[in-house]
Structures are given as structure tokens and as C-alpha cells.
Chain A
Amino acid sequence: MTRKALALISGGLDSMLAARVVQEQGVQVEGVNFFTGFCVEGHTHAIRKQSQTRPKRNNALWVAEQLGIKLHIVDVVDEYKDVVLNPKHGYGANLNPCLDCKIFMVGKAVEKVRDWGFDFILTGEVVGQRPMSQRKQTMPVISKESGAEGLLLRPLSALNLPATKPELEGWVDRERLYGFSGRSRKPQIALARRLGIQEWAQPAGGCCFLTDANYTVKLQDLWASRQQRQYELDDILLLKVGRHIRPRPHFKLIVAREEGEGNYLNGYRRMYTYLDSVSHPGPMTLIDGQVDEDDLELAARIVARYSQGRNAGSVEVEVGRPGAPPLRLRVTPFGSEEIPREWML
């Protein structure tokens, strides 16, 4: 009887190798990839104008194609909020709740294994590879707290860990699994070569924006300004776009840095107050927060500063608010030293 495994496919080399190693043993593998909203790849690329002529592939789909397996992409944006907001095991260097994140994703895979009729789960985790989630002590924590227990196989590090059900039942041959550990990538690269894998994605930094210090600052600022730790998908996508400037605690500006970002922000005109310089070319800008007349004038002066009218005596800015007709403000642009550094997020 052919056994079926569900592989967590991130798009990187390790999960690709783990899936291939198990495929080589005659197991039928399919992949699953979870979309949390914080993924690094794709979004900023899609938004930025200069990137649009050469759209970038989705690495998880590309890996699936290389392996000849199906890939199921699952939207977990809502459920993932609790992982980000209340991580039982805490955060890493930034707002990355890596251990809770792994537990969550393996837990979701456990649900899919039951619903879709798979026999076990596999991941590309390697003992000692990551400081928070891939330590020898945390591997059993992931298996236990996710509910996967013995159904979770890590083919690249299996020899460093107790035998799992697929090994004990003979669905896979433990002798043909690996005992990789530590941060070195050499064993993985050697294995890739042996398996005839010539190309793989090398994502810069972590797998998500939560490991990014600048992004973390903006997310914490969002929570502080709203006086509650909450977010919607649009909030976290907008944190990836534009220059964020907070002149007052109750509102911030999101100023497009180039045309692609301007087009993207344009899509939010019906949901947010926006400012658009009309007398001179300038960046599309959204306001996040509730603003009064004085705030609008201040915001318009900032927008004027980033427009091509920055050296003009005055700049006319259109202000649109959801559900109200647009109005126009004529303002003096801020001078180069008049926007304090601490306003910039």
C-alpha cells in the first residue's frame, strides 16, 4: 500500500529536500503552504513598479513543480493572529514567534492529514539550524503541542531524533534518512547535488516580515497608536508599503515612494483619507487614524514636502475622505529640516 505524506513546503531548499528524500522511498507526497500575510516574497515585489515587468515566481509552487507534487496553499491569516499576538513561547529577536508559528503550522497540517487522508507529515526542519524553533529541545515541543506526536517526520534530521511512526511502521526506511544538525548548509547542498537538484530559492533573511526589525517597529507603532494589539490583513500589507510618518500619536501618513506604490495605495482611497498633490506631481498618501482640520493641514504640508513643489511657495493638495466630496488645501511645504526624524517610522 502506497503511503501518503503531507509536506510543509516553504519554498526553500530544506523542505524541498525533505520531500524528495521521502518521495525516493516510494511515498506519495503532496505539499501544503500556509499564507499568514507576513510572507516576505511576492507582495512588495508585486507592488513596486520596477518589479512588475518581471513578475517573480511563487517559490513554494516552483518547488512543487520541480518535485512533481500537488501544492495546497491555505489562507490562515485570521487564525494566525493569535500566534502573533499571544505567543506562548515568546518572540525571537523581533516580533517573530517562531516556535509558536511552527507549532501552529504543524497543527494545521495535522488537521489536513485527517481531513485529506494522509498518513503522516514531513518538514524540512534541521536540529540546531535556527536559534528559536529548530533546537534539539524544541523539536519534541513542536511534535507534542501541535498534536502531531509520532506522525511528524523530519527526514533531514531524523537520525538525531527518536523514531517516528512512519519509521517504526516501516513506511519509510530510517536507514535512508539523515542526521543533519547545526547551521552549516553544506550537507544540504551536497544532498541536493546528489539528488540532481541544481537550483533552489535562497530567501534573504527569515521566511517572514516578523523577523524584520523595521517592520517590527511599524507593527508595534500600529498597536501603540490604536491602544490595542490587533490587526487586519490590510494593516499588515500596508506596513510593507511606502514611507510611514507619524506626526501625531493619533494618525500617521503612508507616503508612496514610487509609482507602483502610488497605484497600490490608490486602491485604498475609498477606505482611508487620502492626500494627493494636484498643483505639482507628488506621492499618493493615505492617512491612518482620525484627523481634524489642523491635522489635515499638517499632513498636506508633509505631502507637499515630498512633491515636486517642495521649493514652491505653496502647493495645492486634494484631500479625500471616505463618503465625503474631496476638498483642496493650499499649503506651504515643510522645509527640509522641519520634519523631525522621530516622526519617521
Chain B
Amino acid sequence: MTRLAVDARRLLCPLPVIRLQDQVAQLRHGDQVIIIATDPGVKLDIPAWCRVHGHSASLLDETDGEIRFLVTVEAAPNPPKPT
């Protein structure tokens, strides 16, 4: 299992998500990324991006305006059928 760090401080959304996405594209099932960002928009965008791609995201902490997420790369699921 690989665990990588992505520093997205000072970047405005959607750049933190783009940085995360580009990193995840290099990883495999079970690998993890810790991303640190300062734009509060990531609190919605990172979990949303993870949900649509079938990965999991958990908020680790938020201190002095710095927000850290742990993202675990899951097996890429097929897109769900439209309801």
C-alpha cells in the first residue's frame, strides 16, 4: 500500500480536486492520499469527487485554516444506473 501526500494549500477550488485526481490516477486500489488544503470549498468538493469516483474520503482535521483529508483509492466501480 502506498501513501502519498498532496499539498494543495493556497490553491483555490477546483485545483485541489484536480491535484488529488491527478495523483489518484497514478495509484491502485487500497493506496491512500493525504491532501492538505486551505480553500474551505474542499470540504464539499473532495468528498463529492470521491463519491462520484467510488473512493472514500475522511476529514482528518482542520486547524488554523488548514484542512486535511485522507482519501483511500477503492476499486473503480461502474457508474451507477440512472434512476
A binding-site residues for B, Cβ under 8 Å? 20, 23-24, 28-30, 33, 35, 39, 42-43, 45-47, 52, 55-58, 61-62, 64-65, 67-75, 196, 237, 263, 267
Which of B18, B41, B80, B83 interacts with A55 by CB under 8 Å? B41
Which of B13, B18, B52 interacts with A46 by CB under 8 Å? B13
Decide: A47 and B52 in contact? CB cutoff 8 A.
no
CA distance in complex: A75, B78 (Å): 24
B66 sits at the interface (CB 8 A): no
Decide: A237 and B12 in contact? CB cutoff 8 A.
yes
CA distance in complex: A29, B53 (Å): 13
Which of B39, B40, B42, B82 interacts with A67 by CB under 8 Å? B82
B1 sits at the interface (CB 8 A): no
Please, which residues of chain A bring their CB within 8 A of the CB of B43?
A: 55
A85 to chain B, nearest CB (A): 22
CA distance in complex: A62, B51 (Å): 10
Please, which residues of chain A bring their CB within 8 A of the CB of B18?
A: 35, 73-75
20 of the cross-chain contacts (CB-CB < 8 Å) are A35-B14, A39-B14, A42-B12, A46-B12, A46-B13, A46-B40, A55-B44, A57-B41, A57-B44, A58-B14, A58-B48, A61-B45, A61-B52, A64-B52, A68-B80, A69-B52, A70-B52, A70-B53, A70-B79, A74-B18
In the complex, residue of chain A having the shortest beta-carbon distance to the beta carbon of B81: A68
CA distance in complex: A33, B21 (Å): 13
Please, which residues of chain A bring their CB within 8 A of the CB of B44?
A: 55-58
Decide: B41 and A56 in contact? CB cutoff 8 A.
yes
Decide: B48 and A46 in contact? CB cutoff 8 A.
no
Give the secondary structure class of A's interface. mixed
CA distance in complex: A30, B41 (Å): 23
Please, which residues of chain B bring their CB within 8 A of the CB of A47?
A: 12
Q: A28-B78, A35-B14 are in contact. List 4 more A-B contacts (CB 8 A).
A: A28-B79, A46-B12, A46-B40, A196-B83
A62 to chain B, nearest CB (A): 7
Please, which residues of chain A bring their CB within 8 A of the CB of B12?
A: 42-43, 46-47, 237
CA distance in complex: A42, B40 (Å): 10
Segment 40-64 of B: residues with Cβ below 8 Å from A: 40-45, 48-49, 51-53
Which of A23, A46, A65, A237 interacts with B82 by CB under 8 Å? A23
Decide: A73 and B79 in contact? CB cutoff 8 A.
no
Please, which residues of chain A bring their CB within 8 A of the CB of B52?
A: 61, 64-65, 69-71
Please, which residues of chain A bring their CB within 8 A of the CB of B4?
A: none
B17 sits at the interface (CB 8 A): yes
Decide: A69 and B40 in contact? CB cutoff 8 A.
no
CA distance in complex: A47, B12 (Å): 8
B10 sits at the interface (CB 8 A): yes
B15 sits at the interface (CB 8 A): yes
CA distance in complex: A55, B12 (Å): 12
Decide: A267 and B79 in contact? CB cutoff 8 A.
no
In the complex, residue of chain A having the shortest beta-carbon distance to the beta carbon of B65: A263
In the complex, residue of chain A having the shortest beta-carbon distance to the beta carbon of B13: A42
CA distance in complex: A57, B12 (Å): 13
Decide: A267 and B10 in contact? CB cutoff 8 A.
yes
Q: Which 5 A-B pairs have the closest CB atoms?
A: A68-B80, A55-B40, A61-B48, A23-B82, A46-B39
In the complex, residue of chain B having the shortest beta-carbon distance to the beta carbon of A267: B10
Decide: A30 and B14 in contact? CB cutoff 8 A.
no
A57 to chain B, nearest CB (A): 5
Which of B14, B51, B78 interacts with A65 by CB under 8 Å? B51
Please, which residues of chain B bring their CB within 8 A of the CB of A68?
A: 79-83
In the complex, residue of chain A having the shortest beta-carbon distance to the beta carbon of B79: A69
Decide: A58 and B79 in contact? CB cutoff 8 A.
no
Please, which residues of chain A bring their CB within 8 A of the CB of B49?
A: 61, 71, 73
A6 to chain B, nearest CB (A): 12
